[in-house]
Structure 1
Protein backbone atom coordinates (compact mmCIF):
# COMPACT_ATOMS: atom_id res chain seq x y z
CA UNK A 1 0.00 0.00 0.00
CA UNK A 2 2.80 2.39 0.94
CA UNK A 3 4.71 1.66 -2.25
CA UNK A 4 1.58 2.27 -4.32
CA UNK A 5 1.03 5.59 -2.59
CA UNK A 6 4.63 6.65 -3.19
CA UNK A 7 4.34 5.68 -6.85
CA UNK A 8 1.16 7.74 -7.22
CA UNK A 9 2.84 10.76 -5.65
CA UNK A 10 5.83 10.37 -7.95
CA UNK A 11 3.60 10.14 -11.03
CA UNK A 12 1.65 13.18 -9.94
CA UNK A 13 4.86 15.16 -9.45
CA UNK A 14 6.25 14.18 -12.85
CA UNK A 15 2.97 15.09 -14.58
CA UNK A 16 2.91 18.51 -12.87
CA UNK A 17 6.51 19.16 -13.94
CA UNK A 18 5.74 18.12 -17.52
CA UNK A 19 2.64 20.33 -17.69
CA UNK A 20 4.64 23.32 -16.47
CA UNK A 21 7.31 22.44 -19.02
CA UNK A 22 4.75 22.55 -21.83
CA UNK A 23 3.50 25.94 -20.64
CA UNK A 24 7.02 27.30 -20.74
CA UNK A 25 7.61 25.73 -24.13
CA UNK A 26 4.53 27.54 -25.48
CA UNK A 27 5.97 30.77 -24.04
CA UNK A 28 9.21 30.22 -25.93
CA UNK A 29 11.21 29.45 -22.76
CA UNK A 30 12.94 26.40 -24.20
CA UNK A 31 15.81 26.07 -21.72
CA UNK A 32 13.64 26.07 -18.61
CA UNK A 33 11.10 23.82 -20.37
CA UNK A 34 13.82 21.27 -21.10
CA UNK A 35 14.96 21.33 -17.47
CA UNK A 36 11.42 20.59 -16.32
CA UNK A 37 11.01 17.75 -18.82
CA UNK A 38 14.27 16.21 -17.58
CA UNK A 39 13.16 16.46 -13.97
CA UNK A 40 9.84 14.84 -14.85
CA UNK A 41 11.56 11.98 -16.66
CA UNK A 42 13.94 11.37 -13.75
CA UNK A 43 10.87 10.92 -11.60
CA UNK A 44 8.98 8.83 -14.17
CA UNK A 45 10.78 7.70 -17.38
CA UNK A 46 7.41 6.98 -19.02
CA UNK A 47 5.80 10.37 -18.37
CA UNK A 48 4.02 10.92 -21.69
CA UNK A 49 3.91 14.72 -21.67
CA UNK A 50 7.59 14.98 -20.78
CA UNK A 51 8.54 12.54 -23.53
CA UNK A 52 6.44 14.51 -26.00
CA UNK A 53 7.80 17.88 -24.87
CA UNK A 54 11.47 16.88 -24.82
CA UNK A 55 11.09 14.99 -28.11
CA UNK A 56 9.55 18.07 -29.72
CA UNK A 57 12.44 20.24 -28.53
CA UNK A 58 15.16 17.82 -29.62
CA UNK A 59 13.54 17.43 -33.05
CA UNK A 60 14.49 21.03 -33.84
CA UNK A 61 18.17 20.08 -34.25
CA UNK A 62 19.38 17.46 -36.70
CA UNK A 63 22.08 16.27 -34.32
CA UNK A 64 19.44 15.22 -31.75
CA UNK A 65 16.80 14.18 -34.27
CA UNK A 66 17.26 10.43 -33.73
CA UNK A 67 16.85 10.79 -29.97
CA UNK A 68 13.78 12.95 -30.58
CA UNK A 69 12.29 10.28 -32.83
CA UNK A 70 12.74 7.62 -30.16
CA UNK A 71 11.15 9.84 -27.48
CA UNK A 72 8.19 10.80 -29.62
CA UNK A 73 7.59 7.17 -30.56
CA UNK A 74 7.70 6.27 -26.88
CA UNK A 75 5.31 9.14 -26.06
CA UNK A 76 2.58 8.01 -28.49
CA UNK A 77 2.60 4.56 -26.91
CA UNK A 78 1.60 5.98 -23.53
CA UNK A 79 -2.10 6.04 -22.61
CA UNK A 80 -1.62 9.27 -20.67
CA UNK A 81 -0.93 11.38 -23.77
CA UNK A 82 -3.88 13.60 -24.69
CA UNK A 83 -5.14 13.36 -28.29
CA UNK A 84 -4.00 16.87 -29.21
CA UNK A 85 -0.41 16.02 -28.26
CA UNK A 86 -0.61 12.55 -29.81
CA UNK A 87 -1.62 14.08 -33.15
CA UNK A 88 1.22 16.61 -32.97
CA UNK A 89 3.67 13.85 -32.12
CA UNK A 90 2.60 11.72 -35.08
CA UNK A 91 2.92 14.81 -37.31
CA UNK A 92 6.44 15.53 -36.09
CA UNK A 93 7.45 11.89 -36.52
CA UNK A 94 6.04 11.92 -40.07
CA UNK A 95 7.92 15.14 -40.85
CA UNK A 96 11.21 13.64 -39.71
CA UNK A 97 10.69 10.54 -41.84
CA UNK A 98 9.67 12.67 -44.83
CA UNK A 99 12.81 14.80 -44.47
CA UNK A 100 14.84 11.60 -44.52
CA UNK A 101 13.06 10.33 -47.62
CA UNK A 102 11.48 7.46 -45.66
CA UNK A 103 8.12 7.61 -47.40
CA UNK A 104 6.55 4.43 -46.03
CA UNK A 105 7.29 5.43 -42.43
CA UNK A 106 5.98 8.93 -43.00
CA UNK A 107 2.75 7.66 -44.54
CA UNK A 108 2.30 5.11 -41.77
CA UNK A 109 2.45 7.81 -39.11
CA UNK A 110 0.09 10.10 -41.00
CA UNK A 111 -2.38 7.22 -41.23
CA UNK A 112 -2.46 7.05 -37.44
CA UNK A 113 -4.14 10.44 -37.34
CA UNK A 114 -7.73 9.28 -37.74
CA UNK A 115 -9.31 12.02 -39.84
CA UNK A 116 -8.09 15.57 -40.51
CA UNK A 117 -11.21 16.90 -38.79
CA UNK A 118 -9.43 16.02 -35.53
CA UNK A 119 -6.59 18.41 -36.30
CA UNK A 120 -6.52 21.30 -33.88
CA UNK A 121 -6.27 24.05 -36.46
CA UNK A 122 -5.24 25.02 -39.95
CA UNK A 123 -1.56 25.05 -39.02
CA UNK A 124 -1.65 21.29 -38.50
CA UNK A 125 -3.77 20.71 -41.61
CA UNK A 126 -1.21 22.60 -43.68
CA UNK A 127 1.60 20.59 -42.09
CA UNK A 128 -0.11 17.37 -43.14
CA UNK A 129 -0.43 18.69 -46.69
CA UNK A 130 3.20 19.82 -46.72
CA UNK A 131 4.35 16.33 -45.73
CA UNK A 132 2.32 14.79 -48.56
CA UNK A 133 3.70 17.32 -51.03
CA UNK A 134 7.27 16.57 -49.95
CA UNK A 135 6.59 12.94 -50.79
CA UNK A 136 5.03 13.88 -54.16
CA UNK A 137 1.59 12.79 -52.98
CA UNK A 138 -0.25 15.80 -54.40
CA UNK A 139 -3.71 14.22 -54.51
CA UNK A 140 -3.43 13.15 -50.88
CA UNK A 141 -2.44 16.68 -49.92
CA UNK A 142 -5.52 18.00 -51.72
CA UNK A 143 -7.77 15.42 -50.07
CA UNK A 144 -6.43 16.24 -46.60
CA UNK A 145 -6.98 19.97 -47.03
CA UNK A 146 -10.42 19.49 -48.60
CA UNK A 147 -11.52 17.26 -45.70
CA UNK A 148 -10.31 19.83 -43.18
CA UNK A 149 -12.09 22.70 -44.95
CA UNK A 150 -15.40 20.82 -44.85
CA UNK A 151 -15.60 21.53 -41.11
CA UNK A 152 -13.50 24.71 -41.05
CA UNK A 153 -14.89 26.74 -43.91
CA UNK A 154 -13.85 30.09 -42.44
CA UNK A 155 -10.15 29.26 -42.19
CA UNK A 156 -9.02 31.70 -44.87
CA UNK A 157 -5.31 30.89 -44.71
CA UNK A 158 -5.84 27.16 -45.17
CA UNK A 159 -8.47 27.79 -47.84
CA UNK A 160 -5.96 29.82 -49.82
CA UNK A 161 -3.25 27.20 -49.22
CA UNK A 162 -5.57 24.78 -51.03
CA UNK A 163 -6.06 27.30 -53.85
CA UNK A 164 -2.28 27.60 -54.13
CA UNK A 165 -2.01 23.81 -54.31
CA UNK A 166 -4.42 23.73 -57.24
CA UNK A 167 -2.58 26.53 -59.04
CA UNK A 168 1.06 25.63 -58.50
CA UNK A 169 1.26 21.95 -57.56
CA UNK A 170 -1.63 20.40 -59.50
CA UNK A 171 -1.40 22.93 -62.37
CA UNK A 172 -5.19 22.99 -62.31
CA UNK A 173 -5.86 26.67 -62.94
CA UNK A 174 -9.48 26.00 -63.86
CA UNK A 175 -10.34 24.74 -60.38
CA UNK A 176 -8.06 27.32 -58.77
CA UNK A 177 -10.08 30.02 -60.55
CA UNK A 178 -13.31 28.44 -59.29
CA UNK A 179 -12.00 28.71 -55.75
CA UNK A 180 -11.08 32.34 -56.36
CA UNK A 181 -14.67 32.99 -57.45
CA UNK A 182 -15.95 32.25 -53.95
CA UNK A 183 -17.67 35.34 -52.51
CA UNK A 184 -15.68 35.09 -49.28
CA UNK A 185 -12.49 36.18 -51.05
CA UNK A 186 -14.11 39.56 -51.65
CA UNK A 187 -14.25 40.01 -47.88
CA UNK A 188 -10.62 39.01 -47.40
CA UNK A 189 -8.60 41.15 -45.02
CA UNK A 190 -5.38 40.04 -46.69
CA UNK A 191 -4.92 41.92 -50.00
CA UNK A 192 -2.26 39.54 -51.28
CA UNK A 193 -4.88 36.80 -51.57
CA UNK A 194 -6.96 39.04 -53.80
CA UNK A 195 -3.95 39.84 -55.98
CA UNK A 196 -3.01 36.19 -56.43
CA UNK A 197 -6.60 35.35 -57.29
CA UNK A 198 -6.61 38.23 -59.77
CA UNK A 199 -3.77 36.60 -61.71
CA UNK A 200 -5.31 33.14 -61.50
CA UNK A 201 -8.68 34.42 -62.71
CA UNK A 202 -7.18 36.51 -65.53
CA UNK A 203 -5.15 33.52 -66.72
CA UNK A 204 -8.47 31.78 -67.42
CA UNK A 205 -9.82 34.69 -69.46
CA UNK A 206 -12.42 35.67 -66.84
CA UNK A 207 -11.60 39.36 -67.23
CA UNK A 208 -14.66 40.97 -65.55
CA UNK A 209 -14.14 38.82 -62.46
CA UNK A 210 -10.39 39.57 -62.51
CA UNK A 211 -11.12 43.31 -62.73
CA UNK A 212 -13.42 43.05 -59.74
CA UNK A 213 -10.73 41.27 -57.74
CA UNK A 214 -7.95 43.71 -58.60
CA UNK A 215 -10.19 46.69 -57.84
CA UNK A 216 -10.92 45.19 -54.43
CA UNK A 217 -7.21 44.63 -53.95
CA UNK A 218 -6.35 48.22 -54.87
CA UNK A 219 -9.03 49.55 -52.54
CA UNK A 220 -7.69 47.53 -49.61
CA UNK A 221 -4.01 48.13 -50.45
CA UNK A 222 -4.47 51.91 -50.60
CA UNK A 223 -1.15 53.72 -50.90
CA UNK A 224 0.70 50.44 -51.37
CA UNK A 225 -0.46 50.15 -55.02
CA UNK A 226 2.57 50.14 -57.33
CA UNK A 227 3.07 50.73 -61.05
CA UNK A 228 3.15 46.97 -61.62
CA UNK A 229 -0.35 46.69 -60.17
CA UNK A 230 -1.65 49.51 -62.34
CA UNK A 231 -0.06 47.87 -65.39
CA UNK A 232 -1.69 44.56 -64.44
CA UNK A 233 -5.08 46.21 -64.20
CA UNK A 234 -4.57 47.86 -67.56
CA UNK A 235 -3.69 44.52 -69.16
CA UNK A 236 -6.81 42.92 -67.69
CA UNK A 237 -8.95 45.84 -68.83
CA UNK A 238 -7.59 45.49 -72.37
CA UNK A 239 -7.96 41.68 -72.17
CA UNK A 240 -4.42 41.03 -73.19
CA UNK A 241 -1.11 40.14 -71.64
CA UNK A 242 0.58 37.18 -69.98
CA UNK A 243 -0.81 36.44 -66.54
CA UNK A 244 1.80 34.31 -64.82
CA UNK A 245 0.47 32.78 -61.62
CA UNK A 246 3.94 31.51 -60.77
CA UNK A 247 4.99 34.95 -59.54
CA UNK A 248 1.83 35.46 -57.46
CA UNK A 249 2.35 36.16 -53.75
CA UNK A 250 0.99 33.01 -52.15
Structure 2
Protein backbone atom coordinates (compact mmCIF):
# COMPACT_ATOMS: atom_id res chain seq x y z
CA UNK A 1 0.00 0.00 0.00
CA UNK A 2 2.80 2.40 0.88
CA UNK A 3 4.58 1.55 -2.36
CA UNK A 4 1.50 2.40 -4.43
CA UNK A 5 1.03 5.66 -2.55
CA UNK A 6 4.67 6.53 -3.15
CA UNK A 7 4.35 5.79 -6.87
CA UNK A 8 1.16 7.86 -7.03
CA UNK A 9 2.87 10.79 -5.31
CA UNK A 10 5.86 10.65 -7.67
CA UNK A 11 3.58 10.39 -10.71
CA UNK A 12 1.38 13.29 -9.63
CA UNK A 13 4.45 15.45 -8.97
CA UNK A 14 5.87 14.65 -12.43
CA UNK A 15 2.50 15.44 -14.04
CA UNK A 16 2.27 18.69 -12.10
CA UNK A 17 5.76 19.75 -13.20
CA UNK A 18 5.02 18.94 -16.84
CA UNK A 19 1.69 20.78 -16.70
CA UNK A 20 3.42 23.84 -15.21
CA UNK A 21 6.00 23.79 -18.01
CA UNK A 22 3.20 23.51 -20.55
CA UNK A 23 1.32 26.39 -18.95
CA UNK A 24 4.46 28.57 -19.00
CA UNK A 25 5.05 27.79 -22.68
CA UNK A 26 1.44 28.65 -23.55
CA UNK A 27 1.66 31.94 -21.66
CA UNK A 28 4.91 32.82 -23.45
CA UNK A 29 3.37 32.07 -26.85
CA UNK A 30 0.26 34.12 -26.09
CA UNK A 31 2.38 37.04 -24.86
CA UNK A 32 4.52 36.86 -28.01
CA UNK A 33 1.44 36.86 -30.24
CA UNK A 34 -0.06 39.83 -28.39
CA UNK A 35 3.09 41.96 -28.15
CA UNK A 36 5.06 40.93 -31.25
CA UNK A 37 2.28 40.15 -33.72
CA UNK A 38 3.73 42.64 -36.26
CA UNK A 39 7.30 41.35 -36.16
CA UNK A 40 6.93 37.65 -35.37
CA UNK A 41 7.74 35.36 -38.30
CA UNK A 42 6.61 31.87 -39.15
CA UNK A 43 9.83 30.01 -38.08
CA UNK A 44 9.68 31.65 -34.64
CA UNK A 45 6.04 30.65 -34.23
CA UNK A 46 6.86 27.07 -35.24
CA UNK A 47 9.70 26.95 -32.69
CA UNK A 48 7.35 28.01 -29.89
CA UNK A 49 4.72 25.55 -31.07
CA UNK A 50 7.33 22.79 -31.09
CA UNK A 51 8.00 23.54 -27.42
CA UNK A 52 4.30 23.00 -26.65
CA UNK A 53 4.32 19.74 -28.60
CA UNK A 54 7.36 18.55 -26.66
CA UNK A 55 5.67 19.19 -23.32
CA UNK A 56 2.53 17.36 -24.46
CA UNK A 57 4.62 14.40 -25.62
CA UNK A 58 6.43 14.27 -22.29
CA UNK A 59 3.10 14.38 -20.44
CA UNK A 60 1.78 11.49 -22.53
CA UNK A 61 4.88 9.42 -21.79
CA UNK A 62 4.40 9.97 -18.06
CA UNK A 63 0.77 8.86 -18.23
CA UNK A 64 1.66 5.78 -20.32
CA UNK A 65 4.61 4.69 -18.17
CA UNK A 66 4.42 1.20 -16.71
CA UNK A 67 5.52 2.35 -13.26
CA UNK A 68 2.77 4.96 -13.10
CA UNK A 69 -0.44 3.84 -11.41
CA UNK A 70 -3.66 3.88 -13.40
CA UNK A 71 -5.31 7.20 -12.69
CA UNK A 72 -8.58 5.93 -14.14
CA UNK A 73 -9.04 3.75 -11.08
CA UNK A 74 -8.88 6.73 -8.73
CA UNK A 75 -11.85 8.87 -7.72
CA UNK A 76 -11.56 12.53 -6.71
CA UNK A 77 -14.17 13.78 -4.26
CA UNK A 78 -14.43 17.13 -2.46
CA UNK A 79 -14.05 16.74 1.26
CA UNK A 80 -15.74 20.00 2.17
CA UNK A 81 -17.99 22.44 0.30
CA UNK A 82 -18.59 26.03 1.31
CA UNK A 83 -19.06 29.55 0.04
CA UNK A 84 -16.26 31.01 2.15
CA UNK A 85 -12.98 31.88 0.51
CA UNK A 86 -10.28 29.23 0.84
CA UNK A 87 -6.85 30.83 0.74
CA UNK A 88 -5.03 27.55 0.21
CA UNK A 89 -7.27 26.61 -2.73
CA UNK A 90 -6.93 30.09 -4.19
CA UNK A 91 -3.14 29.86 -3.90
CA UNK A 92 -3.01 26.43 -5.53
CA UNK A 93 -5.28 27.50 -8.40
CA UNK A 94 -3.47 30.87 -8.80
CA UNK A 95 -6.61 32.78 -7.91
CA UNK A 96 -8.91 31.04 -10.40
CA UNK A 97 -10.87 29.02 -7.79
CA UNK A 98 -11.39 31.09 -4.65
CA UNK A 99 -13.86 28.67 -3.00
CA UNK A 100 -15.11 25.13 -3.48
CA UNK A 101 -18.81 25.91 -3.94
CA UNK A 102 -21.75 23.69 -4.93
CA UNK A 103 -21.98 25.31 -8.38
CA UNK A 104 -18.29 25.00 -9.16
CA UNK A 105 -17.61 21.41 -8.11
CA UNK A 106 -19.73 19.72 -10.83
CA UNK A 107 -17.83 21.62 -13.53
CA UNK A 108 -14.44 20.78 -12.00
CA UNK A 109 -15.25 17.07 -11.61
CA UNK A 110 -17.08 16.68 -14.92
CA UNK A 111 -15.86 13.74 -17.02
CA UNK A 112 -18.25 14.34 -19.92
CA UNK A 113 -19.06 17.48 -21.95
CA UNK A 114 -21.77 19.84 -20.84
CA UNK A 115 -25.33 18.75 -21.74
CA UNK A 116 -25.69 21.51 -24.37
CA UNK A 117 -22.36 20.63 -26.00
CA UNK A 118 -23.14 16.90 -25.86
CA UNK A 119 -26.52 17.49 -27.53
CA UNK A 120 -24.97 19.51 -30.37
CA UNK A 121 -22.32 16.82 -30.84
CA UNK A 122 -25.03 14.18 -31.18
CA UNK A 123 -26.78 16.32 -33.79
CA UNK A 124 -23.59 16.63 -35.82
CA UNK A 125 -22.95 12.90 -35.63
CA UNK A 126 -26.50 12.14 -36.77
CA UNK A 127 -26.19 14.58 -39.68
CA UNK A 128 -22.88 13.05 -40.72
CA UNK A 129 -24.25 9.52 -40.56
CA UNK A 130 -27.26 10.37 -42.77
CA UNK A 131 -25.13 12.06 -45.44
CA UNK A 132 -24.99 10.20 -48.75
CA UNK A 133 -21.73 8.96 -50.23
CA UNK A 134 -21.90 11.13 -53.37
CA UNK A 135 -22.63 14.29 -51.38
CA UNK A 136 -19.76 13.52 -49.01
CA UNK A 137 -17.38 13.00 -51.95
CA UNK A 138 -18.43 16.33 -53.51
CA UNK A 139 -17.85 18.13 -50.22
CA UNK A 140 -14.46 16.46 -49.82
CA UNK A 141 -13.50 17.48 -53.38
CA UNK A 142 -14.55 21.09 -52.75
CA UNK A 143 -12.67 21.18 -49.47
CA UNK A 144 -9.56 19.71 -51.14
CA UNK A 145 -9.77 22.35 -53.86
CA UNK A 146 -9.94 25.13 -51.30
CA UNK A 147 -7.01 23.66 -49.34
CA UNK A 148 -4.89 23.33 -52.49
CA UNK A 149 -5.64 26.93 -53.46
CA UNK A 150 -4.65 28.18 -50.02
CA UNK A 151 -1.52 26.01 -50.16
CA UNK A 152 -0.51 27.55 -53.51
CA UNK A 153 -0.95 31.05 -52.13
CA UNK A 154 1.14 30.23 -49.05
CA UNK A 155 3.86 28.53 -51.13
CA UNK A 156 4.11 31.49 -53.50
CA UNK A 157 4.28 33.91 -50.59
CA UNK A 158 6.99 31.80 -48.99
CA UNK A 159 9.05 31.74 -52.19
CA UNK A 160 8.77 35.51 -52.54
CA UNK A 161 9.72 36.00 -48.92
CA UNK A 162 12.73 33.68 -49.15
CA UNK A 163 13.86 35.42 -52.35
CA UNK A 164 13.68 38.81 -50.67
CA UNK A 165 15.58 37.45 -47.67
CA UNK A 166 18.34 36.07 -49.90
CA UNK A 167 18.60 39.34 -51.80
CA UNK A 168 18.73 41.36 -48.59
CA UNK A 169 21.55 39.19 -47.23
CA UNK A 170 23.84 40.19 -50.13
CA UNK A 171 25.90 43.34 -49.50
CA UNK A 172 25.05 46.28 -51.72
CA UNK A 173 28.07 47.89 -53.50
CA UNK A 174 29.18 51.13 -51.86
CA UNK A 175 31.49 52.26 -54.68
CA UNK A 176 31.64 52.46 -58.46
CA UNK A 177 34.67 51.25 -60.44
CA UNK A 178 33.94 53.71 -63.26
CA UNK A 179 33.79 56.68 -60.91
CA UNK A 180 37.03 55.59 -59.25
CA UNK A 181 38.87 55.38 -62.59
CA UNK A 182 37.48 58.76 -63.70
CA UNK A 183 38.66 60.35 -60.44
CA UNK A 184 42.16 58.86 -60.76
CA UNK A 185 42.38 60.00 -64.40
CA UNK A 186 41.26 63.51 -63.47
CA UNK A 187 43.86 63.78 -60.70
CA UNK A 188 46.69 62.25 -62.72
CA UNK A 189 46.12 63.75 -66.20
CA UNK A 190 43.53 66.49 -65.70
CA UNK A 191 41.02 64.77 -67.95
CA UNK A 192 37.54 66.10 -67.51
CA UNK A 193 38.53 69.16 -65.44
CA UNK A 194 38.05 71.55 -68.37
CA UNK A 195 35.85 71.04 -71.44
CA UNK A 196 37.77 70.29 -74.63
CA UNK A 197 41.07 69.61 -72.88
CA UNK A 198 43.08 66.65 -74.12
CA UNK A 199 44.73 64.24 -71.66
CA UNK A 200 48.42 64.77 -71.04
CA UNK A 201 51.15 62.30 -71.88
CA UNK A 202 53.57 63.60 -69.24
CA UNK A 203 53.12 65.39 -66.00
CA UNK A 204 54.96 68.62 -65.18
CA UNK A 205 55.36 70.29 -61.87
CA UNK A 206 54.76 74.01 -61.52
CA UNK A 207 54.72 76.48 -58.73
CA UNK A 208 51.52 78.46 -58.52
CA UNK A 209 50.07 76.72 -61.59
CA UNK A 210 46.88 74.64 -61.40
CA UNK A 211 46.64 71.07 -62.61
CA UNK A 212 44.36 72.02 -65.48
CA UNK A 213 46.90 74.54 -66.78
CA UNK A 214 49.71 72.00 -67.29
CA UNK A 215 50.73 70.96 -70.80
CA UNK A 216 49.61 72.24 -74.16
CA UNK A 217 46.02 73.20 -74.49
CA UNK A 218 43.80 71.59 -77.08
CA UNK A 219 41.42 73.35 -79.38
CA UNK A 220 39.07 75.63 -77.49
CA UNK A 221 35.68 74.13 -76.82
CA UNK A 222 32.38 75.73 -77.71
CA UNK A 223 31.36 78.66 -75.55
CA UNK A 224 28.84 77.86 -72.82
CA UNK A 225 25.25 78.80 -73.56
CA UNK A 226 23.70 81.87 -72.05
CA UNK A 227 24.86 85.47 -71.69
CA UNK A 228 28.59 85.91 -71.26
CA UNK A 229 29.89 87.99 -68.40
CA UNK A 230 32.39 90.73 -69.36
CA UNK A 231 35.96 89.61 -69.00
CA UNK A 232 37.74 91.05 -66.02
CA UNK A 233 41.23 92.47 -66.65
CA UNK A 234 43.99 90.38 -65.17
CA UNK A 235 45.81 91.92 -62.27
CA UNK A 236 49.59 91.78 -62.45
CA UNK A 237 50.82 88.87 -60.44
CA UNK A 238 53.42 89.62 -57.85
CA UNK A 239 54.45 85.96 -57.64
CA UNK A 240 56.99 84.76 -60.14
CA UNK A 241 56.38 81.36 -61.55
CA UNK A 242 59.01 78.97 -62.69
CA UNK A 243 57.67 76.24 -64.97
CA UNK A 244 60.06 73.38 -65.32
CA UNK A 245 60.36 71.45 -68.51
CA UNK A 246 58.59 68.16 -68.74
CA UNK A 247 61.73 66.33 -69.80
CA UNK A 248 63.41 66.98 -66.44
CA UNK A 249 63.51 64.23 -63.90
CA UNK A 250 60.34 64.12 -61.88
CA UNK A 251 61.00 63.96 -58.12
CA UNK A 252 58.54 61.00 -57.77
CA UNK A 253 59.82 59.01 -60.69
CA UNK A 254 61.91 55.96 -60.02
Q: TM class by shorter-chain length? A: under 0.3
What is the TM-score normalised by the length of structure 1?
0.18
Give the number of the structure whose alpha-carbon radius of gyration is greater. Answer: 2
What is the TM-score normalised by the length of structure 2?
0.17
